Chains A and B, each alone.
Chain A
Amino acid sequence: MGVDGIGARVARKEDRRFLTGKGRYTDDMSVPGMKYAVFVRSPHAHATITGIDSTAAKAMPGVIDVLDGKQLLADGIGNLICGWMIHSKDGSPMKMGAWRPLADRTVRYVGDAVAIVVADSVAEARDAAEAVVVDYDLLPVVTDPVQALAEGQPQLHPEAPNNLIFDWELGDAGAVDRALGAAAHVTELKIYNNRLSPNPMEPRATLGIYDAGDDHYTCYTTSQNPHLARLVMSAFYNVAPENKLRVIAPDVGGGFGSKIYIYPEEIVCLWASKRTGVPVKWTSDRTEAFLTDAHGRDHVSTVKMAFDAGNRITALKVDTIANLGAYMSLFSSCVPTYLYATLLSGQYDIPAIHANVRTVYTNTAPVDAYRGAGRPEATYLLERTMETAARELGISPAELRRSNFIRSFPHQTPVIMNYDAGDYEASLNAAMTAADWNGFAARKAEAERRGMKRGIGMSCYIEACGLAPSAAVGSLGAGVGLWESAEVRVNMVGTIEVMTGSHSHGQGHETTFAQLVADRFGVPIDSVNIVHGDTDKVQMGMGTYGSRSGAVGMSAIVKALDKIEVKAKRIAAHLMEADENDIVFEDGSLKVAGTDKAVPWSQLALSAYTAHNLPPGMEPGLKEGAFYDPANFTFPAGCYICEVEVDPETGRTKIVQFVAADDFGNVINPMIVEGQVHGGVAQGIGQALLEGVYYDDSGQLLTASYMDYAMPRADDLPSFKVSTSNTPCPNNPLGIKGCGEAGAIGSPPALINAITDAIGNNALTMPATPEKVWAAAQAAN
């Protein structure tokens, strides 16, 4: 390992621009003639539009134009789509209702876009938006997913009777029922997974530029996957063919899933730019973000877990209702199905599993993947159940888990997944040691003397990252392939540019990916640049989500580097009149092994481009591209332990320690990986303790600002104890599993298990606010 190579804690190359105010986010972009957009949004959760009058608005100062859904429809702009087909267990396809980028007839949630105002300034556009008169006939509203399925409820889409999108199952129901019938013990639980708002700190924004000279569109946007955005806008929304549409996602201020999707605003701003003849920029305010960014989670489940007399799990039965909101967002269908039910085996050897999932429409914002996406829901359900079972069975939660761990690999679960590698006991032991598990009783006794209730809880999670292979996800309904692409361009002087289809919005790719290249060729990390986020610069890409950039994105770079290495060695061998099998990289040169013959890297690069003396028949240049399609998912896993003190007088929970012991496979930059865990754990603690999206019965969002939605602040959180005990992933060239979502997946059950342990009452839902904890503690007394 060099100082900048694989495994080194290299400080980030991208930090300087962020620290000095030189970051380039979408809202920072300005182009000549640019105007500003504000959207007119529905104030009602369900209504028929009977008329839109923008006459007064158009006459207001600074207003360029006001455009609505009828014009959008007339111009042939298509519906927003969900790109993953799920079939119900009766074989029928999911019921996708129409989602217009600007609603022309019906609005289905508060915040549904109705019209766009373009003006000289944001303030003028906002004034005019308030002057657009929209007549609504109100319709009845349903926001609760269980209620929405009942007979006689308000109907959101004619395509979906009883608001049911699909009724899907996975696993062997008969085997599960037989095991439940024969069980020595059955643990039953009802599980709520609270609805969350992702809240990247940079609100969504887009700048649409239509160039009439070339009939060409440019879209700056806050996207995690600009190529996918281009594909969808081109193939489904009829904005422009791909060769006439450039999508640029410059610096993006966090995503957490919410910036995967293609929303109405980027489509409408591009269209409006052509209609008005001016570049159109829109930046979400925070209330709009709460209203319209895709939410996460929102499951209601019942679970039954069967045990034999030896406390071995014999079956798991899960029934889940998942709220998908008013419309099917881009990947909404795969989150509560293939990203959820397939993970219900957890770290345990469970012979039979059956999951039934019904997804429903409600008059709420669309719900889609949020950090973890399905896997936090599976983990929370499973790990709350394990902890509950341990209490019911009267054995240690660690021992119950230990005695049910999967111990040989590969392991085929009953729910599709084939785990390739892992050592769950190593993580459990590491976490218990770091948390001083054995000293807990003494700490609890000491806390009791101070009048505090102390509790400890654990969670053993598994997740699946890097969705793959493309053929497999295609057979499960995915509308795209889930490979990644890379291009490595060695410049004439030996500096290197890597064009990657992954997208960094905080993950530090500009550093980690450069470490990989520096390590491979022995060149300084500062001579390597990582280029991403621009469809004109990067050949193709699928973007960053599902913790895929290391395992899939970097593997594509490795493939391209392999090709570079082969060609470079051939050139070096030719120049030094040696056998190419004898050429080695050493100290920034290509050397003939065992001799003092060497060609510096920079000279090799120049030779490739001067082409004065290349092997016969070789093309000039040193630039290679590659696509990488993984052979399998990767399976990060770990054990998290949380210790809390609850004040019985106030119900306030204080996290006194939080331990994370993860298995991420090989690690390129431990500093960045630890940062990912910190952030993920903080979001998981936010879910468990603080955060919740709430609508009232009329569909008004009650949590639409940071004064109402409790984001984790610095003084809500402790410093974290993190460590890794890694088993390399056997299925990709770097042995990487992925680390982006683990923290958010593993932490909520650990925290709730700790609080319920402290207060002696297992009936507690997230978020565990002081009011709820106080009431649960009182009920236990």
Chain B
Amino acid sequence: MAKITMTVNGRQVSGVCDDRTLLVHFIRENLGLTGTHVGCDTSQCGACVIHMDGQSVKSCSILAAQAAGSSITTIEGLAQNGELHPVQAAFKAHHGLQCGFCTPGMVMTAVDMIRRHGSDLDEATVRAELEGNICRCTGYHNIVKAILAAVHETGGVRQAAE
């Protein structure tokens, strides 16, 4: 068993889990943060993307123990003071989600994508960057539209960088 301490959404948390426990299961089961989802077994679908020390990570692809001491942001930690993050707001405005299951991972990936590319993001780059996130509902049309809108119409670039 491993006793793990990390910072999640700005709060220090601790938990005990099997050595083999994946970070995504630690987040969901130990911390009760069920916004991070599991959609596959092979690190393809991206429903579990979180930010670890400022970078997007598939939380199904590392052990919880490997994340000890790190700073994690999950989908629950993105909106501040009840205000949607501009990327979340853009997904809502542009109907970038339907069933909502892939959405947390999509949003976390989009925020990271915008942080790295800023206003250089174009449609082709967004589509290439979404390689690791699968959506079955939207055909990606409105997800791409929402991410580009977050870059070009709102404060998405600024907030993603913060």
Q: Which A residues lie at the B interface, using CB under 8 A?
A: 11-12, 14-23, 25, 27-28, 30, 121, 123, 199-203, 251-254, 256, 283, 285-287, 505-508, 671-672, 674-675, 678-683, 705-707, 711-715, 717, 719-720, 743
Contact = CB atoms under 8 A, between A and B. Distances in A.
Of B32, B47, B92, B137, which is in contact with the most chain A CB atoms at under 10 Å from its CB? B137
Interface string B63-100: 00000000000111011000010001001110101111
A201 B141 contact: no
A713 B98 contact: no
Contact of B135 (A201, A507, A707, A719): A201
Contacts of A252: 99
Given A678-B142, A706-B42, A714 B97 contact: no
Nearest to B145: A719
B162 interface: no
B114 interface: no
Given A16-B92, A253-B102, 14 more contacts: A16-B84, A18-B100, A18-B104, A20-B76, A201-B136, A256-B136, A283-B38, A675-B142, A679-B137, A683-B139, A705-B41, A706-B40, A706-B42, A711-B136
B18 A123 contact: yes
Of B42, B99, B123, B131, which is in contact with the most chain A CB atoms at under 10 Å from its CB? B99
**Pairs A-B, 8 closest by C-beta atoms:** A21-B35, A18-B100, A253-B101, A682-B139, A506-B99, A706-B44, A506-B98, A21-B75
Contacts of B47: 201
Nearest to A508: B98
A14 B41 contact: no
Given A11-B92, A20-B88, A202 B99 contact: yes
A19 B76 contact: no
Contacts of A254: 98-99, 101, 136-137
Interface residues of B, number: 58
Nearest to B143: A714
Of A19, A256, A506, A507, which is in contact with the most chain B CB atoms at under 10 Å from its CB? A19
A747 B47 CA distance: 27
Interface in B1-51: 18, 20-21, 28, 32-42, 44-45, 47
Given A28-B34, A251-B100, A254-B99, A711 B134 contact: yes
A237 B45 CA distance: 35
Given A18-B97, A19-B107, A254-B98, A200 B91 contact: no
A20 B137 contact: no
A675 B95 contact: yes
Contact of B100 (A14, A678, A679): A14
B138 interface: yes
Is the contact region of chain A dominated by helix, strand, or loop, or is it mixed?
loop
A715 B34 contact: no
A254 B73 CA distance: 26
A682 B140 contact: yes
Contacts of B130: 713-715
B42 A707 contact: yes
A19 B41 CA distance: 23
B95 A672 contact: yes
A14 to B, nearest CB: 7
Contacts of A16: 84, 92
A679 B139 contact: yes
Contact of A202 (B39, B84, B123): B39
A221 to B, nearest CB: 15
Contacts of A203: 38-39
Contacts, number: 186
Given A201-B134, A285-B41, A675-B138, A714 B127 contact: yes
A643 to B, nearest CB: 17
Of A22, A675, A680, A712, which is in contact with the most chain B CB atoms at under 10 Å from its CB? A675
A125 to B, nearest CB: 13
B160 interface: no
Given A254-B101, A506-B99, A507-B98, A20 B136 contact: no
Contacts of A123: 18, 20-21
Contacts of A682: 138-141
Contact of A19 (B21, B101, B103, B145): B103
B137 A506 contact: yes
A672 B44 CA distance: 27
Contacts of A508: 98
A182 B91 CA distance: 58
19 contacts: A18-B103, A19-B91, A20-B35, A121-B18, A200-B99, A200-B101, A201-B45, A201-B99, A203-B38, A679-B139, A682-B141, A705-B42, A712-B139, A713-B134, A714-B128, A717-B140, A717-B141, A719-B141, A720-B141
Contact of A678 (B102, B128, B141): B141
A287 B99 CA distance: 21
A680 B141 CA distance: 11
B126 interface: yes
A714 B47 CA distance: 15
Nearest to B123: A719
B157 interface: no
A683 B136 contact: yes
Contacts of A20: 35, 75-76, 78-79, 84, 88
Contacts of B133: 714
Interface in B98-156: 98-104, 107, 123-124, 126-128, 130-131, 133-145
A15 B36 CA distance: 16
Nearest to A511: B95
A424 to B, nearest CB: 24
B91 A21 contact: no
Contacts of B141: 675, 678, 682, 717, 719-720
Contacts of B104: 18-19, 21
Of A21, A506, A680, A682, which is in contact with the most chain B CB atoms at under 10 Å from its CB? A21
Contacts of A675: 95, 98, 137-138, 141-142
Contacts of A25: 34, 37, 101
A22 B100 CA distance: 10
Contacts of B123: 719
Contact of A286 (B39, B101, B127, B145): B39
Nearest to A20: B79
Contacts of A706: 40, 42, 44-45, 134
Contacts of A712: 139-140
A660 to B, nearest CB: 11
B107 to A, nearest CB: 7
A711 B136 CA distance: 8
Given A201-B102, A254-B136, A714-B143, A15 B91 contact: yes
A680 B98 CA distance: 12
Contact of B34 (A15, A21, A671): A21
A200 B99 CA distance: 9
Nearest to A708: B42
A199 B136 contact: yes
A252 B140 CA distance: 19
Contacts of A251: 99-100
Contacts of B101: 23, 25, 200-202, 253-254
A11 B131 contact: no
